A and B are shown apart, each in its own frame.
Chain A
Amino acid sequence: MKKTDTVIIGAGPVGLFAVHQLGIKGLKSVVIDNLDKAGGQCIELYPDKPIYDIPAVPECTGEELTKKLLEQIKPFNTEFFLNERVEEVKQYKDNWIVKTNNNNEFLAPNIIIAGGVGSFEPRKLSVKEAEKFEGKSLFYAVRNKEQFKNKNITIFGGGDSALDWALELSKFSNINLIHRREEFRGAPHTLSEIKKLEKEGKISIKTPCQLESIEGDENIISITLKFDDGKTEKIKTDIVLSFFGLIMKLGPIAEWGLNMNKKTIEVNSENFQTNKKGIFAAGDICTYPGKLKLILSGFHEVALASVECFKRARPNEKYRFEFTTSSKNIQERLGKK
């Protein structure tokens, strides 16, 4: 079990800034996130879209903001546990034990939940028989492309993931690409490559149609597509890959005994503590009178939460408010002196 001052759940902008606010107060933290990289919604939903309301930053993208925040917390050498989801939180005296689905365990007096709208999970196919093939011949991500060699593969989706994998896997397999409308929304260059391969007969594109059913016992044998004009077509396939983006699911957070309001956690806006002492919530996932779901609000929320975290982690020390501009202590922690 790893000991730390604060376990931060969620590596979005608010979770990252929490590292900073704790760090300048001399507190250690670890960050856990279900995604494979830091940035949360900024990196997963709108890496290229502009944000105009970060104070003193007239315009930046989700990706740029994430990079800047990571740079800002570099001096604290914080350990990140990515591709991991917190499954269980339980009390141990005045501390909390946090367990992840990767069997990592942490002991800390404080937890800051900066989980946005929950963890990102792939959007699943809507036909009910999909579940029994999942992980065997139906996949929502490609982890090891070797297993897709010399197969008949059907790919669903109209975005970059669907197009990129269609291109890549067409090098050694037969590809059907299925989309609900004629227009694809991938990068123009990828699209022209796909069209070229379609002419060469390496990729077969079927539009506008959607999945009607999947046939097979252990493994998928075929799938049936339904076109907009009502016609159906059965195609033989060994593997189905589906790329309909990610959906946010609150997941186990709902079971930790916190006071919830719909999908958000109620906090005291003085220190962003929940109804459990030592568990804080900040950013989109918290709610209090007047709450705005803005990144800048999340920054404020973790600044205040970090003060209470300090008091809990260092009960024998007096908390002193300091400015980064003039505090020698802070500047040392930032590696500036």
Chain B
Amino acid sequence: MPKITYKDNQGNSKTIEVENGLSVMEGAIQNDVPGIDADCGGSMACATCHVYVEEKWLDKLPKAEDAEVDMIDMAYKPKKNSRLSCQLIVSDELEGLTVTTPEKQS
């Protein structure tokens, strides 16, 4: 199973094996990783699973669709490397992905 690393804005990190096909958000929720709220449950309607993706991964991930970018407009302190973790689906290609959670989600 691919390993995903979740860092918080204080520098603490947790690496978790997440099953292929789950989203990076689900990996966090199922393993009690703090910092990701996912209020809407993954329907791209709330922007509370917002993460910053490590720069080197930005081009390797499938591009965000318009609806995701629109939602990121609403997120707390969005940056160029912002993504919604509910839209990042874990696969072997994502082995070693590191995401950082923002200071807060809302």
Contact = CB atoms under 8 A, between A and B. Distances in A.
Contacts of B48: 247
A248 B43 CA distance: 14
Name the residue in B39, B47, B76, B78 with the highest tally of chain A Cβ atoms < 10 Å from its Cβ. Answer: B39
B74 interface: yes
Contact of B41 (A126, A244, A293): A293
Contacts of B76: 123, 126
B106 interface: yes
B72 to A, nearest CB: 9
A180 interface: yes
A101 to B, nearest CB: 20
A245 B74 CA distance: 6
Contacts of B39: 117, 247-248, 263
Given A41-B45, A117-B40, A180-B78, A123 B106 contact: yes
A249 B40 CA distance: 12
Contacts of A123: 74, 76, 106
A210 B74 CA distance: 12
B60 interface: no
15 contacts: A41-B40, A45-B40, A123-B106, A158-B73, A159-B70, A180-B73, A180-B78, A185-B66, A185-B70, A185-B73, A210-B77, A245-B74, A247-B39, A248-B39, A263-B39
A244 B73 contact: yes
Contact of A45 (B45, B66, B77, B78): B45
Interface string B58-71: 00000000100110
A319 interface: no
B41 to A, nearest CB: 5
Interface in B44-97: 45-48, 66, 69-70, 73-74, 76-78, 80
Nearest to B48: A247
A228 interface: yes
Contact of B77 (A46, A126, A248, A293): A126
Nearest to A44: B45
Interface in A148-178: 157-159
Contacts of B77: 126, 210
Nearest to A124: B106
A92 B39 CA distance: 33
A181 interface: yes
Given A123-B106, A247-B48, 19 more contacts: A41-B40, A41-B45, A45-B40, A46-B43, A46-B45, A123-B74, A126-B76, A126-B77, A159-B73, A180-B73, A181-B69, A185-B66, A185-B73, A210-B77, A247-B39, A247-B106, A248-B39, A248-B46, A263-B39
B40 A157 contact: no
CB-CB nearest 5 A-B residue pairs: A247-B106, A45-B45, A245-B74, A185-B70, A117-B39
Contacts of A247: 39, 46, 48, 106
A46 B70 CA distance: 13
A183 B40 CA distance: 25
Interface string A315-329: 000000000000000
B70 A228 contact: no
Contacts of A157: 73
Nearest to B102: A126
A195 to B, nearest CB: 19
Interface in B25-46: 39-41, 43, 45-46
Contacts of A117: 39-40, 46
Nearest to A118: B39
Contacts of B78: 180, 210
B106 A45 contact: no
A157 B70 CA distance: 10
Contacts of B45: 41, 45-46
A109 B75 CA distance: 40
Nearest to A248: B39
B67 to A, nearest CB: 9
Interface in A5-45: 41, 45
